[in-house]
Amino acid sequence: MNIALVTCESLAQYAAPNVEDEDGLLTRYLREQGHTVEPRVWTNPAVDWLRYDVVVVKSPWDYFDRVGEFYEWLDRMESLGVKMLNPAATVRWNADKKYLLDMEQAGVRIVPTHWLSRGQAVETAALFDKLGHDTLVVKPAVSGGAKNTFVLTRQESAIRQPQLQELLRDEDFLVQPFQPEIQEEGEWSLIYFGGEFSHCVLKTPKSGDFRVQHYLGGGIEPRQAPAHLRQAADAIVQQFAAGCLYARVDGLDQNGEFLLMELELIEPFLYLASADGSLPRYEAALRHMSN
């Protein structure tokens, strides 16, 4: 196949000494299997997307900084009839974390979430009473890489209120109770290719932090997926990731039940180097879904 691997202008800020360059790893492997693979920056207007058999969304890790342009690009891809994996409609739905509301309404157990709309006046002290917790996590509704994500304690509420109010000038936010399981055990990521389970890792934050991203010092440990987490993640992928080349289900093991943090269908890091057979499984799913 002739494959366009969608990326952004620079991935440098996401590099980490403990993790291999995943785009390079994937590109080399697919070329070894006889495919033509060309990295293509999604914001480059000169790219002729129709010359590719399939366009694979891999690492457009600046989309959340220019989300209006990103939506326009998705519209263009649809209007051109480009074969895109994951599909443009799925990517558009998954870009805004309000997708979690759809999943909750469908019966998926998510972290309790309160939504803050752009421009609304916010009273930080009231958020703690609403969510019944003394420590909260605040993050943009459209975000990646832990951008503008921070912990808010009840003691800091008055001091941090101007910061949050300023952030709300530009975009929607969500507020969730801090989940201690992240620091106590870690966050599970279950990865799927073509709807089939591939592998699992447990991500842990560095000491004193709550963010598990590897480029922020988080740890990555390949693990066998616990059966009850695998069952819950399987059901989520079956219901919400139809037609997807890849899916990553992120969540916590809370008192023996799976608690969803994120369903990543846009550009997740897939931990391809962490599991034997992950690259062949990826390539097999790509072949199958490109037919």
The pLDDT tens digits for 176-203 are 999 888 888 889 999 999 999 999 999 9
Mean pLDDT of 101-119: 95
The per-residue pLDDT for 157 is 82
106 C-beta neighbours (distance < 10 Å), count: 10
How many domains is the chain built from?
3
Same domain, 119 and 250: no
> What tens digit of pLDDT does each residue of 38-62 get?
999 999 999 999 999 999 999 999 9
152 C-beta neighbours (distance < 10 Å), count: 22
The per-residue pLDDT for 14 is 58
C-alpha to C-alpha distances, 232 to 25, 84, 219, nearest whole angstrom: 30, 27, 24
Q: What is the CATH number of the domain that holds 154?
A: 3.30.1490.20
For residue 288, the one-letter residue type is H
Domain range spanning residue 211? 99-109+181-274
Please measure the distance between the N-terminal and C-terminal CA atoms of the chain and give it in whole angstroms. Answer: 10
The residue to which tokens 């910061």 are assigned: 163
DSSP bridge pairs for 139? 174
The per-residue pLDDT for 71 is 97
Mean pLDDT of 265-270: 94
N residues, the chain: 291
Q: What is the CATH number of the domain that holds 211?
A: 3.30.470.20
- Token pair recorded at residue 184: 């106590």
Q: What angle do CA 282, 256, 217 make, to 5 degrees?
A: 55
- Token pair recorded at residue 117: 């709309």
Same domain, 156 and 248: no
Same domain, 204 and 258: yes
Mean pLDDT of 128-157: 87
Same domain, 195 and 232: yes
**Do the domain assignments include residue 229?**
yes
Supply the mean pLDDT for the chain. Answer: 91
Mean pLDDT of 8-29: 77
Helix (H) or strand (E) segment spanning residue 221: strand 219-222
